[in-house]
Amino acid sequence: MLKNVVAVLLEGVHPFELGVVCEVFGIDRSDEGLPVYDFAVASAETPTLGTRCGFTVSTPHGLERLEEADLIAVPAGDTYATREYPPELLDALRRAVARGTRVLSVCSGVFVLGAAGLLEGRRCAVHWRHADALGRRFPRAVVEPDVLYVDEDPVITSAGTAAGIDACLHIVRKEQGPEVANRIARRMVVPPHRDGGQAQYVERPLPRSQCDTVAEVLVWMERHLDGEVTVEQLAARAHMSPRTFARRFQQETGTTPYRWILRQRVLLAQELLERTDETMDAIADRTGFGTAAALRHQFGRALGTTPAAYRRTFRGPEAA
């Protein structure tokens, strides 16, 4: 269970990336019935650290605070791509992962995880400007240069700035379910969910009328998750050829129609498992998976657990 969260800082930390972690995990939202995390900011160096914006950050916590954490976040910072790191910090991160603690990097914080040996053989994300440098410095890391975040549990890595919000909300969704994550997102006035595989940016901006056309198709897709949907059908609704539609869809959403609708089906299944007593067959039918076996397969691929286990976690044993 996610309760204890620590953001660990080095000299030159970026305030926005630190603020992302503080906003998601450091705000008391108990008045809305949302979880309250035991949150702290810890320094890996001196008690007072400089930021890239010219002001300082002070904290009474050192590396000892990491020993209690369920999640350790490493925000981005200046020179993180090239500097060396305190051996004590790297040892603390390795011990944390060994005992089952999750670690999260935001943007260039991933270089710290790499120095601790936590990226070897793992897929990882970083801001696209740092992708080549990350690959050169840690050649055994599998760098995904254009995605928002990568979940290689217990190591979660995210790209720059706002992608850190997506990764934080992904962790909340994974631990406490989509309803909690969506309510936190609503308080933050950010999209409730962007899949980690979405592109960090689109190659070229598109006229508003074209985006509006695809947006209408997205609404239609979300209302018809229980049926078979083909690219040809979607293209016809958008008054485009299938090839043009597929290209526009990728540019505007950062993913393919198949991956988009699959993710929405899994999200709907999560909601039904949390809120209803419907059978697995009924949920499979409503979400377009067709059979309980197909639901289990796709649910497991997306979330690493079974629908029954998910229901037990978020509704209690009696609901299963």
Distance between CA atoms of residues 79 and 13, nearest Å: 9
Fold of 4-188: Rossmann fold (3.40.50)
Per-residue confidence (pLDDT) for residue 88, from 0 to 100: 98
Compute the chain's Rg from CA coordinates: 21
Per-residue confidence (pLDDT) for residue 212, from 0 to 100: 53
Distance between CA atoms of residues 118 and 165, nearest Å: 22
**Domain boundaries in the chain?**
4-188, 208-254, 259-319
Per-residue confidence (pLDDT) for residue 87, from 0 to 100: 97
Domains 4-188 and 259-319 alike in fold = no
Its pTM stands at 0.70
Distance between CA atoms of residues 82 and 76, nearest Å: 13
- Strands (E) across the chain are located at 4-9, 38-43, 48-50, 56-58, 71-74, 102-106, 123-125, 142-144, 149-152, 155-158
Mean pLDDT by 10 residues, the chain (320 residues): 96 96 96 95 97 95 97 95 95 97 97 98 94 95 92 95 92 91 88 67 41 76 91 92 91 87 91 91 95 94 88 66
Q: Which amino acid is located at 266 in the chain?
A: V
Tokens (6 digits) for 125: 């994300």
Q: Which CATH architecture has domain 259-319?
A: Orthogonal Bundle (1.10)
What is the DSSP code string of 240-297?
A: S-HHHHHHHHHHHHSS-HHHHHHHHHHHHHHHHHHH----HHHHHHHTT--SHHHHHH
Count of all residues that appear for the chain in the document:
320
